């Protein structure tokens, strides 16, 4: 993974393309809007950039402002129930700030790796 402009010396732990939608923002339900996002896990932050993924030079380029960042500290992840989405392999991520996201990949191994990484990140940073 490339490093972020904010923390150029910190390598990101994980990155890749995932399908993402918010379902709740600050405790309020919002309409689903699935988008393919370049997703980067770095420290206790998860960054999403809209649009075409796959490019490893995303952070290096100019149109590379993260669309949004989620603070994983105090958050939780679980596999989403069927009621939350009809898609396969969906992770539900809840933040302490009251934002809920669904994260999905068609690829089993990919989503399993993210599930593991997110769970580890949350437990590593649980006492911050
Ligand atoms: O939870 P919902 O409302 O069934 O979610 C679906 C909708 O957001 C749908 O868009 P519309 O707002 O145009 O109805 C999306 O296309 C679907 O992907 C959403 O369901 P899934 O099960 O794919 O998360």
Q: Find the range with the poorest average confidence among 11-20, 27-36, 70-79, 112-121.
A: 11-20
Q: Best of 20, 32, 86, 106 to mutate for ligand 1, by most ligand atoms within 8 A of CB?
A: 32
- As a whole number, mean pLDDT of residues 53-79 equals 69
Number of neighbours of residue 60 by Cβ within 10 angstroms: 13
Taking CA atoms only, the protein residue closest to ligand 1 atom 6 is 32
Mean pLDDT across the chain, nearest whole number?
84
pLDDT score of 83 more than 60: yes
Query: How many angstroms is it from 37 CA to the middle of ligand 1?
Result: 17
Predicted pLDDT at 60? 45
pLDDT score of 64 more than 70: no
Predicted pLDDT at 68? 85
Question: Cβ distance 84 to 94 under 8 Å?
Answer: no
Q: Which atom in ligand 1 lies closest to the alpha carbon of residue 84?
A: 1
For residue 51, give both structure tokens.
Answer: 């649009």
Beta-ladder partners of 105: none
- 49 pLDDT band, cuts 50/70/90, is confident
What torsion, rounded to 10 degrees, do the Cα atoms 114, 11, 64, 106 define? -20
Rounded to 5°, angle at Cα 17 from 15 and 21:
110
pLDDT score of 37 more than 60: yes
Query: How many angstroms is it from 22 CA to the middle of ligand 1?
Result: 12
pLDDT score of 94 more than 70: yes
In short, whether 85's Cβ falls inside 6 Å of ligand 1 is yes
- Percent of the chain at pLDDT > 90 equals 63
């Amino acid at each position: 993974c490339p490093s972020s402009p904010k923390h150029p010396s910190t390598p990101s732990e994980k990155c890749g393309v995932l399908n993402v939608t918010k379902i709740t923002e600050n405790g309020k339900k919002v309409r689903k809007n699935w988008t393919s996002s370049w997703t980067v896990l770095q420290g206790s932050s998860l960054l999403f950039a809209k649009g075409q993924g796959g490019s490893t030079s995303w952070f290096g380029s100019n149109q590379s402002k993260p669309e949004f960042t989620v603070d994983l500290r105090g958050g939780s992840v679980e596999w989403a129930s069927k009621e939350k989405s009809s898609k396969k392999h969906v992770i539900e991520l809840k933040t302490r700030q009251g934002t809920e996201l669904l994260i999905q990949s068609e690829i089993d191994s990919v989503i399993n790796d993210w599930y593991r990484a997110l769970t580890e990140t949350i437990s590593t940073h649980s006492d911050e």
